[in-house]
Structure formats: structure tokens, C-alpha cells
Amino acid sequence: MKKLLSLLFIAILFANCTKEDKVVGLITDKAMVVSARVEASQIGSDILKKGGNAYDAMIATQLGLAVVYPVAGNIGGGGFMVFRHHDGKSGALDFREKAPLSSDKDMYLDEKGEVIPGKSSFGVHSSGVPGSVAGIVEVYEKYGSLPFKDLVQPAIDLARNGFKVTKKQANSLNGTLSRFKKANNYQILFDREWKEGDLLQQEELAQTLERIRDNGRDGFYKGKTADLIVDYQKELGGIITHQDLEKYKAIWRKPIVFDYKGYKITSMTMPASGGICLAQILKSVEPYDFSKIDHNSTKYIQLLTEAERRSYADRAHYLGDMDFVNVPIDSLIAPKYISERMLDFSWDKATKSSDVSHGKVLGYESDETTHYSIIDQFGNAVSVTTTLNTGYGSKVLVKGAGFFLNNEMDDFSAKPGVPNVYGLLGSTANAIAPEKRMLSSMTPTIVEKDGKLKMVVGTPGGSTIITSVLQNILNVVEYDMGMQESVNKARFHHQWMPDNIRMEPNGFDSITKANLKTLGYELLERNSLIIGRVDAILVLPNGKLEGGADPRGDDAAVGF
């Protein structure tokens, strides 16, 4: 029944966005926040209204989501931020989780060398050292303008006073109850039956946030919060120590910047694969004239699929934390290399993934993440994707501290050739090592045209993040869609292995699907109800902003 309702919802969603009935998102004059929940977007927008900048709003929104969207919003996880300052300067912050000091490349294998099912993705052993609090403090120290305590206080109030649980949220929580029980040695706050409209208050989380408000990063990585994390790790047999927490640092990175048909695209670099793969795929399709290819037609799906296949094969082989392994970024996004990778593409039949390996270069998340996009009244833009990995991360709720720890260790390759929860393969480049950061698909992205800000975009969706961002860029740039129209469009995804095109059911016509099958493509609509939840902002030609808040979730745009 639940599945039937979901299918009906998707059918209505896509039926609502035909050209004749163009959907338009929230339009504002100056500033906007689009995130997974209206409460968090409102918190961010209120900070902007008080005179705060996009970086202040980032901190407030991140913490707001940690309260109101515990499935993915977090202080026990990590993420990435790409920014474009009002003066055109861009940059990126990596606050991805790290493997604990006593981690080991074989830590998820049994005595026969086989992967122990679920150990890297569920429970106390699946967590990396969290990076989100270090991330927001780093952002504050470099770019914050309002008093730090003012940025944290709205989340504290929301946690203490509570908020109404939505229908989707109640379903999500109820669907996870047995795993909450299994992952913890006490009855956690979330472990009860939920219904729409229930009030969710989180006093322990409010107190944790107060410690962060008063002590900054020490409010999390030292003192009472750190003690609570480490004590519960010990109780459950985990390996995160005080030393792990104290040593964690967020790192400013040089983002991936490239040109696509005169648009400047800035996206996240390693340990997020998003920027490199986005560059590879867009560069692969750049030579084609999209005015001759209908949106979501057989040819469109074919072209993107073949480019995605080749890029994800490279991802599996080459990509890993570049502080540990040599990632040949320049070679992987070099135009000559990319055009050579597409040489064997044919419109006449599907390439088989088994015939595609990584190219030769010189040198060498349920998928629950969340993304928010912010543009402030000063012209600063931030694009932030943050996660616990799968829904509610490890399902371990730190006793006495009220927040979930991530299960990000599953984004490492536990054993080369064995897929993770997203079916993604990895090589030794993404093997576990102490203090290494696991490979991510997160793709927070900013698009500019003629030196001006055009679009801020990103999404959750595990391995499908990259291809959802890709399709939204093409929707706007090649098909002239508005932001909400673009976000609503049906999406598809190919990731080399498994060799199939994942499609949102009822989003694609039967002739297109029949054509693709004739060409040799395997289609997967089942178990693929939605792909991503894109939250994006488009700067319109008149300078106003249009929000695209994904109706697949409870996402909302708020601004002024």
C-alpha cells in the first residue's frame, strides 16, 4: 500500500510539470535558503534578515537540520561546502568524517577475508570521526559576522521547544524502530511509534548544542560531549577515542573548477568524487547539440548513461582521499582524455559495463544525505551537502547527548570489488587507513555565467547525487527550465556497475523505455522510487532568485 501511494505521488508529481503547466518555485528579491525542512530554511533566512551573511546562515541551517531532520541533518556526521563570495572568490571546505586512529583496512573482514555483512554500515563499528561541528566553527572563524551564540540559539530553542513531525518523517522513523533497538543498549528517544503532528522535543540535544554555543569546537570535541561519545563507544565496543575527537580538523580545499559551454562550474574535490565526475560527464556530453536532443528522450538518456558509465568506472578505480593516495585529477578531467573515453560510444547499441574499465591516465546513502543552498543579500552563495550516510547513520544515538553518529565507514571500500550500500565498487585508493577520509559522492555545486552567480545546487542520494546535480544543470543550461521546474523533472541514473539505468517510475514514457531496451539497456524502475532531493536556487535574468525545493521530500524555500 505504501509503495502504491508513493507511485501515485510520483505520477502526480511528474504530471504536474509539463510545459503547458510550468511550475515556478518561490521567488524572492534578495536572499534565500532552500533546505530539507521549512523550519531549518526559516532559521537560516531569519539569520540573513538580521543582517547575517550566507556563512552565518550556513551554520544556523546546519544546526537547525540537525534538530528537525535527524535522518540526515547532523552534528554527528560530516559534509562539504562550496562557496562563492560576493567578490567572485570561490573555495571549498571539507568536513568529511575520518577513519578512527585504530581503524584498519581489514576491519570489516572475517577470518576468511570476507566482508562481514552490515558491520561497516550499521551500529557502533560503522562510524567515522564526525566533522560537522569542526566545519561550522571553521566557517565561522573565517567568514562569520554575527555573534556565534546567535547562530546556535535557534537550533537550541527548536530542540527544546520541539517541532511537529511530518507524515514522511513519521513513516521514516517508524520504519527504523527495530534498527534503533538493535543498535543501542537503551531505549532511545526516537524508539516509539510516531504519527504526523506529534511534537518532537530533544532536551539532551538542546544541552549538547548549548555546549557548542558556549565553547565552540571544544563543546563537541572535548569536555562533556566528548566524554559522552567515548563512554558510549566503550559500552558498545566502538573504537572512537578522545584522541580521535581532539585531532579532527576541517580542511579548506581547492574546488574543482571547469567550463561547460561558457558556464563556470565550481564543485567539490576529493574526498568527494562529485566535482571530478560532474566535470567528466559534462565534458563528455559538451560536444553534443542538445537543441537536437529532446529532454528525457531515448537519445538524451543514452548519451548521459554512456558518459556516466565511463566516469563511474574511473571513480571506482582512481578516487580516494588525496591526502593518502595520488588522485590524477588533472588527467581525469583533461579534454583529450575525456574525448578518448567516449570514442567507442555508439548511438546504435549500449556499451556493456563489463567491457568498460577505468581509462588509462598518466600518473595516477536508504540513501539519506541532505543538501541546502543559500544566497544572501550581499551576493554570497554557499552550497552545502551534509550527511550521516544512510538514514539516521549508524542508528547509534549518543547516550546523554541526543544525536546520531554516522555510518560513514561504509563509504570506504571494505574490500576491493565488494560493493557498498550504494552498489559502488572501490579499489585500494579508497581502502581504510587511520585518519583517512572515505570517498564521497557529494556534489555541492555553484554555476556562474559571465562572471555572475547563476545557480546553487546539490542533493542527497548516495551514488545518484552526481547524476542528479548533472541533470539539473543540463535542465537549466540546455533546456532553459526554471529552478522548480527542473527540480520536479523525473530523473535517471547509471553508475557503471550494476549495469542498469535506474529510473523514477512513471517519469518516462513507454516508447522511450522500449527503445532503450531494444538498444540493449537494462532498466530498473522497481526499488528506485525517487532519486535525490535537490534543493537549489537560480538567479533569474532580472536578478531575483527562484528556489527549487524538492517535492520528493518536505523540502522548502524561504527568503525575502
3-state secondary structure (DSSP) of residue 157: helix
3-state secondary structure (DSSP) of residue 265: strand
Task: Please give the grid coordinates belonging to residue 415.
Answer: 574490500
Closer residue to ligand GLY in complex, CB, 264/315: 315
Could you tell me the smallest distance in angstroms from the CB atom of residue 442 to ligand GLY? 5
Task: By CB under 6 A, tell whether 548 contacts ligand GLY.
Answer: no
Task: By CB under 6 A, tell whether 389 contacts ligand GLY.
Answer: yes
Read out DSSP for 252-263?
Answer: EEPPEEEEETTE
Hey, what amino acid is at 209?
Answer: L
Closer residue to ligand GLY in complex, CB, 65/209: 65
Closer residue to ligand GLY in complex, CB, 98/211: 98
Task: Please give the grid coordinates belonging to residue 121.
Answer: 554500515
Closer residue to ligand GLY in complex, CB, 351/387: 387
**CB-CB contact of 373 with 535 (8 Å):** yes
Tell me how far apart the alpha carbons of residues 438 and 458 are, in angstroms, rounded to a whole number.
Answer: 19
Could you tell me the smallest distance in angstroms from the CB atom of residue 261 to ligand GLY? 27
Task: By CB under 6 A, tell whether 127 contacts ligand GLY.
Answer: no
Tell me how far apart the alpha carbons of residues 369 and 459 are, in angstroms, rounded to a whole number.
Answer: 8
Task: By CB under 6 A, tell whether 28 contacts ligand GLY.
Answer: no
Closer residue to ligand GLY in complex, CB, 241/390: 390
Could you tell me the smallest distance in angstroms from the CB atom of residue 181 to ligand GLY? 24
Task: By CB under 6 A, tell whether 553 contacts ligand GLY.
Answer: no
Could you tell me the smallest distance in angstroms from the CB atom of residue 460 to ligand GLY? 8
Tell me how far apart the alpha carbons of residues 450 and 264 are, in angstroms, rounded to a whole number.
Answer: 8
Stretch of 43-51, 168-176, 212-220, 434-442 lying at the interface with ligand GLY (CB under 6 A): 434-442
What is the pattern of x (binds ligand GLY, CB under 6 A) and - over residues 358-387? -------x---x-----------------x
Tell me how far apart the alpha carbons of residues 57 and 376 are, in angstroms, rounded to a whole number.
Answer: 8
Task: Please give the grid coordinates belonging to residue 59.
Answer: 551554520
Task: By CB under 6 A, tell whether 441 contacts ligand GLY.
Answer: yes
SS3 string, 471-540, reads HHHHHHHCCCCCHHHHHHCCCEECCCCCCCEEECCCCCCHHHHHHHHHCCCCEECCCCCCCCCCEEEEEC
**CB-CB contact of 91 with 446 (8 Å):** no
Read out DSSP for 66-121?
Answer: HHH-TTT--SSSEEEEEEE-TTS-EEEEEE--B--TT--TTTTB-TTS-B-TTTTT
Work out the number of other CB atoms within 10 angstroms of the CB of residue 442: 33
One of 169, 172, 440, 528 touching ligand GLY (CB under 6 A): 440
Could you tell me the smallest distance in angstroms from the CB atom of residue 240 to ligand GLY? 18
Task: By CB under 6 A, tell whether 442 contacts ligand GLY.
Answer: yes
Task: By CB under 6 A, tell whether 462 contacts ligand GLY.
Answer: yes
Which member of 176, 241, 305, 369 is catalytic? Answer: 369
What is the β-pairing status of strands 535-539 and 545-549?
A: antiparallel
Stretch of 293-301, 439-447, 522-530, 534-542 lying at the interface with ligand GLY (CB under 6 A): 439-447
Stretch of 25-33, 126-134, 147-155, 438-446 lying at the interface with ligand GLY (CB under 6 A): 438-446
Tell me how far apart the alpha carbons of residues 295 and 512 are, in angstroms, rounded to a whole number.
Answer: 11
Work out the number of other CB atoms within 10 angstroms of the CB of residue 147: 13
**φ, ψ of residue 55 in degrees (nearest 5):** -75, -40
Stretch of 191-199, 437-445, 510-518, 520-528 lying at the interface with ligand GLY (CB under 6 A): 437-445
Task: By CB under 6 A, tell whether 413 contacts ligand GLY.
Answer: no
| Number of residues located near ligand GLY, criterion CB under 6 A | 10
Closer residue to ligand GLY in complex, CB, 128/547: 128
Work out the number of other CB atoms within 10 angstroms of the CB of residue 344: 11
DSSP H or E segment with residue 312: helix 298-318
Q: Which residue has the cell 571500500?
A: 413
Closer residue to ligand GLY in complex, CB, 172/387: 387
Stretch of 135-143, 148-156, 440-448, 500-508 lying at the interface with ligand GLY (CB under 6 A): 440-448
Tell me how far apart the alpha carbons of residues 111 and 123 are, in angstroms, rounded to a whole number.
Answer: 20
Question: Catalytic site residue 28?
Answer: no
Tell me how far apart the alpha carbons of residues 546 and 548 are, in angstroms, rounded to a whole number.
Answer: 7
Task: By CB under 6 A, tell whether 558 contacts ligand GLY.
Answer: no
Could you tell me the smallest distance in angstroms from the CB atom of residue 430 to ligand GLY? 11
460 preceded by a cis bond (ω within 30 of 0): no
Could you tell me the smallest distance in angstroms from the CB atom of residue 183 to ligand GLY? 17
**CB-CB contact of 286 with 341 (8 Å):** no
Task: By CB under 6 A, tell whether 132 contacts ligand GLY.
Answer: no
**What is the radius of gyration, based on Cα positions, of the chain?**
22
Q: Give the residue nearest to ligand GLY (CB).
A: 440
Could you tell me the smallest distance in angstroms from the CB atom of residue 388 to ligand GLY? 8
Task: By CB under 6 A, tell whether 420 contacts ligand GLY.
Answer: no
One of 97, 138, 306, 411 touching ligand GLY (CB under 6 A): 411
Could you tell me the smallest distance in angstroms from the CB atom of residue 37 to ligand GLY? 20
Would you tell me which residues interact with ligand GLY (CB under 6 A)? 365, 369, 387, 389, 408, 411, 440-442, 462
The residues carrying an active-site annotation are 369
